[in-house]
Amino acid sequence: MPVSSESRRLPRLRFNLWSAGALIIALAVAAPIFTVLGLAFTDTSDIWTHLYKTVLGLYLERTITLMFGVGIGTLVIGTGTAWLVTMCRFPGSRIFEWALLLPLAVPAYVLAFVVTDQLEYAGTVQSTLRDMFGWTRPQDYWFPEIRSMGGAIVVMTLVLYPYVYLLARSAFLEQSVCVLEVSRTLGKTAWGSFTRIALPLARPAIVVGVTLVLMEVINDFGTVDYFAVQTFTAGIFDVWLNMNSVGGAAQLSSVLLLVVLVLIVTERMARRDRKFHHTSNKYSELPSYRLRGYKATLSFFACALPVLLGFIFPASVLSHYALSFYEETLSADYFSYVINSLTLSASAALLAVVIGLFLAYAVRLSEGPWIKIAARIASIGYAVPGAILAVGVLWPTGALDQSLSWIGGNFGIAVGGVMIGTIVPIVYGYLVRFLALAYGTSEASLGKITPNMDGAARTLGSNPSQTLKRVHFPLMRGSLMTAAILVFVDCMKELPLTIILRPFNFDTLATFVYQYASDELLEESALGALTIVGAGIIPVILLSVTIAKSRPGKL
Amino acid sequence: MSDLHLEAISHAFGDNQVLSGVSVNVAAGELVCLLGPSGCGKTTLLRLAAGLEPLQKGQIKINDVLVADGTNSNQMPPEQRGAGLMFQDFALFPHLNVRDNITFGIDAKNKTRRAEWLDHALTSMGLVGYADAYPHTLSGGQQQRVALVRALAPDPRILLLDEPFSGLDVTRRAQIRTETLRLVKQTGVATLMVTHDPEEAMFMADRILVMNEGRVVQDGTPVELYSSPKNAFVAEFFGPVNKIQSTVHSGKVKTPVGVFDADGQKNGTQVDVLVRPEGFRLANADEKPHAMPGDNLGNTSVVLAVVYARPLGRLSHVAFKLSTGQVIETRVPGLFLPSPGDKVSVSVNAHQAHVFASTTILEAR
């Protein structure tokens, strides 16, 4: 059958509002990364060899060690607790289903501050021990040094394992009952089913979870700075701010971007694998192993410990401090920090949701692959560490400011710092980093609306924009709300970008807490930290509710 | 009232040529069916008419207005064409109740003008009490009716129906088909319907276009297609057929069930004689089969042995064996249930037997 010549041609990119907008968004997101790479390769100072000979190896080793430690830790805790809670019944297992998510509300640096505060020499724990055992000097006993690589690993593991827990849990729940029942009839114990069946089937989801954890590890600044662990992020800040070398920072960033690339590829491949792991469509109430005796006790404590250490412990310490020191906090301008945080986070959340929705709709309306590629590029921000984004955002905005002044100068208009000094760079940074979240939510929610509904609205006289307003938006409202909340909370917790990109004399709750904790004044900023944790609880609640409702086949 | 012209439409998805030079004309008040197996391109044709796919080759005219031309990328978007489309999965808006769904396409200035028609449509489709209900609470049949009224509510120039009954269970289908046909004919709108069910097509359509692999195979009234199929594909599409192979001699085709006209095939050609199960007339071995009105039995009958007979209520399914060993399946009205091994008298209604050249090569016997 003859094939017409038109069919061979890849569909042309039609230029309309939607495609143009999508391309602009993609460029805006990619710009900081290209800036960094450009700065790295055009740097004329000789700092690279200096770095290479001195600290590069150290940064590499420290970062990899941290990634490895946290990776293993979250893998074990996340997967183990997910299995216990999903497949076994023991006292408290129903509560732990959602309680194990709580440490998500605590940013790593907050836990780091609290842990150090309590466990250092002058802290509660050691003082109590010394009182109990009559030791008077540090040489009398041994106590692990908190401010170390080990401490950082423990702290990060405790706040990041919920990522793996969530994904492993949903993977276990998705597994067809048949597979697990077969496993039992073949005589496998709980442990046997876990290692030979459930774990391998859930592997893609677990891989996704661990790569997300590792991305957060690379991104972290507050913890590694406080614990004096020389990771790449710490190094980038150091070279940039202390050695005043943007080029050097950019070069370090480029190396780190390679690591990020590996993580992204791993995650994408694992996500694709997930789709092929449903073996049958039969779902029903999962059979659970009833645990008794020492097994039940062990399981209880295995689940209780992460929740205790990752949430209850910091929350209670902070609450205690907040109550005792609220006067100091309030006099330290607490409310202005709250307002700053709220303003920034709300603006970024609103913009992210609008842009994410626009992008998702543009993809839906598109015919060829170009817009989809643009959307892919625009979703890269979540993997790029805040430090790198900071370099990539600050430099061009500074340059833009200078050119605006120059242009204005030619017209006799004095143009001051248009970008620098406003919240524009920081909101831009937030958008680059969190757009993926908003876009992903919009994409998933839009996917639930059948293409025939679009067609029905169009044939009934609605153009695409009217259809978006009358059909898509009402159906997506709930998801968009969720996306806005998630972005909002992530912005509230954000530290590395905020430290660099904030305007002069502008503090958010996160930077306020970081500043005070660095000055050994944690108690006075405890209310601020508690507020951040409070905001962080909201997504935990949302997630818990979603988990409870999402078992397929359950009415 | 408007009519619809689709001229020389060709369409491909990537390397897959879905339509090749298809032309369809639907006059105002006419209901035309596109009938064919899955993948033959009929839904694509509907979507092109609606404007939901960009036209690659050909022309589309609604009421003599050129709405799309394959050579021009500037094609009229769906919201301006006035082509109502009813989808196979109904695509009702879940966040709107029945009333809001139906009035979705009516803009403010037409509201009063259409109010009377709406009342009448809701009543005749039995939806009056459901105006405030939401789609997920409705049965499949009710959803289909809502989808139909919704498509007709804005007074479209043409109506397009994509397998409108395939989502319904079989018991309701007959009744809903009748109601749909009545409403559509009352509005008098040019209607193009897509289906893969030949009985449905024959019931609903003024004209049927049988399609296969992106081409129109035959275009005619239901009677024309059933009684005078152009080729074996069309004949087989309207129901199962018995295929008896033979060769043309002296302008006639001899088979174990009778002798038939060669229908224009040359002497020596290998042919398939396609006889519908309902084209056989049976009687007990010592009698001659009765002719039914319009039959051409040719005054001959043969006596053959029964393999099995099963009652189907208003029909009986009787299978008998030819001397060649081929089993022939027939359906006769009423309860006619000889036992296996019994002999029956068999005649064939020549109007329900069709002769076509063989598409398979006969093995030497």
What does the pLDDT look like over A148-168, one tens digit per residue? 899 999 999 999 999 999 888
Quote the Cα angle for B306-B309-B314, to 5°.
Answer: 135
Distance in Å, alpha carbon of B348 to nearest chain A alpha carbon: 39
Q: B244 and B188: one domain?
A: no
- Please count the residues of chain A: 555
For B188-216, write each residue's pLDDT tens digit.
Answer: 999 999 998 898 999 999 999 999 989 99
The confidence band for A7, taking pLDDT boundaries of 50, 70 and 90, is very low
Answer whether residue B362 is part of any domain.
no
Asked if B104 and A7 come within 8 Å (Cβ–Cβ), the reply is no
Answer whether residue B232 is part of any domain.
yes
> For B56, which of A6, A457, A462 is closest by C-beta distance?
A6
Q: Name which of A14, A16, A367, A459 to mutate to probe chain B: the one with the most chain B Cβ atoms within 10 A of its Cβ.
A: A459
> For A456, which of B14, B77, B87 is closest by C-beta distance?
B87
Asked if B17 and A455 come within 8 Å (Cβ–Cβ), the reply is no
Q: Name which of A5, A8, A460, A465 to mutate to probe chain B: the one with the most chain B Cβ atoms within 10 A of its Cβ.
A: A460
Q: Domain end: B236, B256, B274, which one?
A: B236
Nearest in space to A498 (alpha carbons), one of A414, A407, A393:
A393
pLDDT at A4 over 70: no
Mention every residue, 6+ apart, whose C-beta is less than 8 A from residue A282: A176, A177, A178
> For A455, which of B15, B57, B91 is closest by C-beta distance?
B91
Q: B196 and B316: one domain?
A: no
Q: What is the mean pLDDT of residues A387-398?
A: 83
> For A1, which of B20, B77, B104 is closest by C-beta distance?
B20
Gap between the terminal Cα atoms of chain B: 61
Chain B, nearest residue to A365 by Cα: B52
pLDDT of residue A505: 85
Asked if A458 and B78 come within 8 Å (Cβ–Cβ), the reply is yes
Mention every residue, 6+ apart, whose C-beta is less than 8 A from residue B101: B92, B93, B135, B146, B150
Asked if B15 and A7 come within 8 Å (Cβ–Cβ), the reply is yes
Q: What is the mean pLDDT of residues A376-405?
A: 83
Q: B62 and B11: one domain?
A: yes
The confidence band for B35, taking pLDDT boundaries of 50, 70 and 90, is very high
The confidence band for A9, taking pLDDT boundaries of 50, 70 and 90, is very low
pLDDT at A8 over 50: no
Answer whether residue B365 is part of any domain.
no
Q: B229 and B281: one domain?
A: no
Strand B252-255 to strand B242-249: parallel, antiparallel, or no bridges (unpaired)? antiparallel
What share of chain B in percent tops pLDDT 90? 54
**Neighbour-count burial of A524, counting CB atoms closer than 10 A to its CB (0-12 exposed, 13-18 middle, 19+ buried):** buried
Q: What is the mean pLDDT of chain A?
A: 84
pLDDT at A287 over 70: no
**Neighbour-count burial of A327, counting CB atoms closer than 10 A to its CB (0-12 exposed, 13-18 middle, 19+ buried):** exposed
Q: Domain end: B202, B236, B270, which one?
A: B236
pLDDT at B239 over 70: yes
> For A475, which of B51, B95, B213 is closest by C-beta distance?
B95
Asked if A3 and B47 come within 8 Å (Cβ–Cβ), the reply is no
Answer whether residue B209 is part of any domain.
yes
Collect all residues of chain A within an 8 Å Cβ-Cβ radius of residue B52. Answer: 455, 458-459
Work out how many domains chain B is built from and give that number.
2
Distance in Å, alpha carbon of A374 to nearest chain B alpha carbon: 22
For A27-38, write each residue's pLDDT tens digit.
Answer: 888 888 888 888
For B58-70, write each residue's pLDDT tens digit.
Answer: 999 999 899 999 8
pLDDT at A280 over 80: no
Answer whether residue B364 is part of any domain.
no
Q: B118 and B263: one domain?
A: no
Answer whether residue B157 is part of any domain.
yes
Q: B300 and B161: one domain?
A: no
pLDDT of residue A5: 39
Q: B341 and B259: one domain?
A: yes
Nearest in space to A330 (alpha carbons), one of A488, A531, A110:
A531
Mention every residue, 6+ apart, whose C-beta is less than 8 A from residue B347: B258, B280, B281, B288, B289, B291, B297, B298, B300, B301, B302
Q: Are B147 and B87 in contact (CB under 8 A)?
A: yes
Quote the Cα angle for B145-B151-B155, to 5°.
Answer: 125
Q: Rounded to 10 degrees, what is the CA torsion of A393, A398, A403, A407? A: 110
pLDDT at B254 over 80: yes
- Give me the domains of chain A, ranges plus CATH numbers: 32-323 (1.10.3720.10), 332-519 (1.10.3720.10)
Q: What is the mean pLDDT of residues A388-411?
A: 78
Q: What is the mean pLDDT of residues A132-139?
A: 79
Nearest in space to A233 (alpha carbons), one of A223, A244, A220, A243:
A220
Q: B272 and B352: one domain?
A: yes
Q: What is the mean pLDDT of residues A331-350?
A: 90
Chain A, nearest residue to B15 by Cα: A7
Q: Are A35 and A397 in contact (CB under 8 A)?
A: no
Q: What is the mean pLDDT of chain B?
A: 89
pLDDT of residue A75: 95
pLDDT of residue B309: 93
Asked if B50 and A460 come within 8 Å (Cβ–Cβ), the reply is no
Answer whether residue B221 is part of any domain.
yes
Q: Domain end: B236, B265, B293, which one?
A: B236
pLDDT of residue A12: 56
> For A459, which of B54, B83, B89 is closest by C-beta distance?
B83
- A-to-B residue pairs, Cβ atoms closer than 8 angstroms: 88
Structural domain boundaries enclosing B300: 240-357
Asked if A470 and B89 come within 8 Å (Cβ–Cβ), the reply is no
Asked if B91 and A456 come within 8 Å (Cβ–Cβ), the reply is yes
pLDDT at B168 over 60: yes
ipTM confidence: 0.81
CATH number for the domain including B64?
3.40.50.300
pLDDT at A278 over 70: no
Asked if A452 and B87 come within 8 Å (Cβ–Cβ), the reply is yes
Q: Name which of B79, B81, B85, B97 to mutate to probe chain A: the one with the most chain A Cβ atoms within 10 A of its Cβ.
A: B79
Q: What is the mean pLDDT of residues A523-533?
A: 89
pLDDT of residue A399: 73
For B270-327, write each residue's pLDDT tens digit.
Answer: 899 999 999 999 998 888 888 888 888 877 788 889 999 999 989 999 998 888 889 9
The confidence band for B361, taking pLDDT boundaries of 50, 70 and 90, is low
Distance in Å, alpha carbon of A461 to nearest chain B alpha carbon: 4
The confidence band for A111, taking pLDDT boundaries of 50, 70 and 90, is very high
Collect all residues of chain A within an 8 Å Cβ-Cβ radius of residue B92. Answer: 456
Q: Name which of B46, B87, B97, B110 to mutate to probe chain A: the one with the most chain A Cβ atoms within 10 A of its Cβ.
A: B87
> For A459, which of B50, B92, B95 is closest by C-beta distance?
B50
The whole-angstrom separation of Cα A16 and Cα A27 is 17
> For A7, which of B14, B52, B95 is closest by C-beta distance?
B14
Q: Using an 8 Å CB-CB cutoff, list residues of chain B that contact chain A.
A: 10, 12-17, 20, 47, 50-52, 54, 56-57, 77-79, 81, 83-85, 87-89, 91-95, 104-105, 107, 150-151, 154, 160, 213-214
Collect all residues of chain B within an 8 Å Cβ-Cβ radius of residue A364. Answer: none
The whole-angstrom separation of Cα A172 and Cα A234 is 37
The confidence band for A549, taking pLDDT boundaries of 50, 70 and 90, is low
pTM beyond 0.80: no
Collect all residues of chain B within an 8 Å Cβ-Cβ radius of residue A461. Answer: 79, 105, 107, 154
Query: Considering all CA atoms of chain A, what is the largest pairwise distance in Å, rounded to the nearest integer?
Result: 94
Chain A, nearest residue to B73 by Cα: A14
Q: B212 and B254: one domain?
A: no
Asked if A459 and B151 come within 8 Å (Cβ–Cβ), the reply is yes
The confidence band for B93, taking pLDDT boundaries of 50, 70 and 90, is very high
pLDDT of residue A152: 93
The confidence band for A491, taking pLDDT boundaries of 50, 70 and 90, is very high
Other Cβ atoms less than 10 A from the Cβ of A320: the count is 12
Mention every residue, 6+ apart, whose C-beta is less than 8 A from residue B262: B248, B251, B252, B253, B271, B355
pLDDT of residue A345: 94
Strand B207-212 to strand B31-35: parallel, antiparallel, or no bridges (unpaired)? parallel
The confidence band for A406, taking pLDDT boundaries of 50, 70 and 90, is confident
pLDDT of residue A548: 64
pLDDT at A50 over 60: yes
pLDDT at A309 over 90: yes
pLDDT of residue B4: 94
pLDDT of residue A68: 95
Strand B215-220 to strand B83-86: parallel, antiparallel, or no bridges (unpaired)? unpaired
Q: Is the model more confident about A314 or about B167?
A: A314
For A492-525, write each residue's pLDDT tens digit.
Answer: 999 999 988 888 888 999 999 998 888 888 888 8
CATH number for the domain including B282?
2.40.50.140
Q: What is the mean pLDDT of residues B261-270?
A: 85
Q: B249 and B232: one domain?
A: no
Answer whether residue B169 is part of any domain.
yes
Q: Are A332 and A525 in contact (CB under 8 A)?
A: yes
Q: B66 and B175: one domain?
A: yes
Query: Beta strands of A436-506 (E only): which ranges?
Result: none
pLDDT at A555 over 60: no
Chain A, nearest residue to B162 by Cα: A452
Which residues partner with B331 through β-bridges?
A: B317
Q: B184 and B270: one domain?
A: no
pLDDT at B142 over 60: yes
The whole-angstrom separation of Cα A137 and Cα A303 is 36
